[in-house]
Protein backbone atom coordinates (compact mmCIF):
# COMPACT_ATOMS: atom_id res chain seq x y z
CA UNK A 1 0.00 0.00 0.00
CA UNK A 2 2.69 2.51 0.98
CA UNK A 3 4.90 1.52 -1.95
CA UNK A 4 1.97 2.03 -4.35
CA UNK A 5 1.37 5.49 -2.93
CA UNK A 6 5.04 6.35 -3.39
CA UNK A 7 4.93 5.15 -7.01
CA UNK A 8 1.77 7.17 -7.67
CA UNK A 9 3.51 10.31 -6.37
CA UNK A 10 6.66 9.58 -8.40
CA UNK A 11 4.57 9.11 -11.56
CA UNK A 12 2.76 12.37 -10.80
CA UNK A 13 6.05 14.23 -10.42
CA UNK A 14 7.48 12.78 -13.63
CA UNK A 15 4.38 13.24 -15.79
CA UNK A 16 3.55 16.66 -14.39
CA UNK A 17 7.15 17.78 -14.83
CA UNK A 18 7.33 16.48 -18.40
CA UNK A 19 4.05 18.17 -19.24
CA UNK A 20 5.34 21.48 -17.81
CA UNK A 21 8.55 21.13 -19.84
CA UNK A 22 6.73 20.37 -23.08
CA UNK A 23 4.32 23.28 -22.75
CA UNK A 24 5.60 26.64 -24.00
CA UNK A 25 5.61 29.56 -21.58
CA UNK A 26 5.50 29.64 -17.83
CA UNK A 27 2.69 28.13 -15.78
CA UNK A 28 1.79 29.63 -12.43
CA UNK A 29 0.37 26.54 -10.77
CA UNK A 30 2.05 25.27 -7.60
CA UNK A 31 4.20 22.14 -7.54
CA UNK A 32 1.65 20.12 -5.57
CA UNK A 33 -1.00 20.85 -8.21
CA UNK A 34 1.41 19.80 -10.96
CA UNK A 35 1.84 16.47 -9.15
CA UNK A 36 -1.92 15.99 -8.80
CA UNK A 37 -2.46 16.79 -12.48
CA UNK A 38 0.32 14.38 -13.41
CA UNK A 39 -1.39 11.65 -11.39
CA UNK A 40 -4.73 12.47 -13.01
CA UNK A 41 -3.05 12.45 -16.43
CA UNK A 42 -1.67 8.98 -15.73
CA UNK A 43 -5.12 7.71 -14.78
CA UNK A 44 -6.83 9.30 -17.79
CA UNK A 45 -4.10 8.04 -20.12
CA UNK A 46 -4.50 4.50 -18.75
CA UNK A 47 -8.26 4.65 -19.26
CA UNK A 48 -7.87 5.83 -22.86
CA UNK A 49 -5.21 3.17 -23.49
CA UNK A 50 -7.57 0.49 -22.14
CA UNK A 51 -10.42 1.73 -24.31
CA UNK A 52 -8.34 1.60 -27.50
CA UNK A 53 -6.69 -1.68 -26.50
CA UNK A 54 -3.06 -0.63 -26.03
CA UNK A 55 -2.70 -0.67 -22.26
CA UNK A 56 -0.75 -3.92 -22.11
CA UNK A 57 1.63 -4.65 -24.95
CA UNK A 58 4.84 -6.58 -25.21
CA UNK A 59 7.81 -4.37 -24.44
CA UNK A 60 7.53 -0.73 -23.45
CA UNK A 61 4.02 0.71 -23.62
CA UNK A 62 5.01 3.83 -25.57
CA UNK A 63 1.49 4.61 -26.75
CA UNK A 64 0.14 4.40 -23.19
CA UNK A 65 2.91 6.67 -21.92
CA UNK A 66 2.29 9.21 -24.68
CA UNK A 67 -1.41 9.17 -23.83
CA UNK A 68 -0.57 9.78 -20.17
CA UNK A 69 1.68 12.73 -20.99
CA UNK A 70 -0.90 14.09 -23.41
CA UNK A 71 -3.62 13.88 -20.77
CA UNK A 72 -1.38 15.62 -18.22
CA UNK A 73 -0.67 18.39 -20.76
CA UNK A 74 -4.37 18.88 -21.44
CA UNK A 75 -5.16 19.00 -17.72
CA UNK A 76 -2.41 21.55 -17.05
CA UNK A 77 -3.56 23.71 -19.99
CA UNK A 78 -7.15 23.62 -18.68
CA UNK A 79 -6.37 24.12 -14.97
CA UNK A 80 -3.62 26.78 -15.23
CA UNK A 81 -5.88 29.67 -16.30
CA UNK A 82 -8.47 28.66 -13.71
CA UNK A 83 -5.80 28.62 -11.00
CA UNK A 84 -4.40 31.97 -12.14
CA UNK A 85 -7.82 33.60 -12.15
CA UNK A 86 -8.56 32.15 -8.72
CA UNK A 87 -5.32 33.47 -7.20
CA UNK A 88 -5.71 36.90 -8.84
CA UNK A 89 -9.21 37.22 -7.42
CA UNK A 90 -7.92 36.55 -3.89
CA UNK A 91 -5.23 39.22 -4.18
pLDDT tens-digit map of 41-71: 999 998 999 899 887 777 788 888 899 999 9
Is the pTM of the predicted complex or chain greater than 0.95?
Answer: no
How far apart CA 43 and CA 39 sit, in angstroms, is: 6
Considering only residues 46 and 87, tell me which one the structure prediction assigns the higher pLDDT.
46
DSSP letter assigned to residue 25: S
How far apart CA 70 and CA 78 sit, in angstroms, is: 12
Determine the length of the chain: 91
Amino acid sequence: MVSQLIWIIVVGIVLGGLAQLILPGRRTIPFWLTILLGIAGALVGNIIASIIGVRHTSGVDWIRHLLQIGAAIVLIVVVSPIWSARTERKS
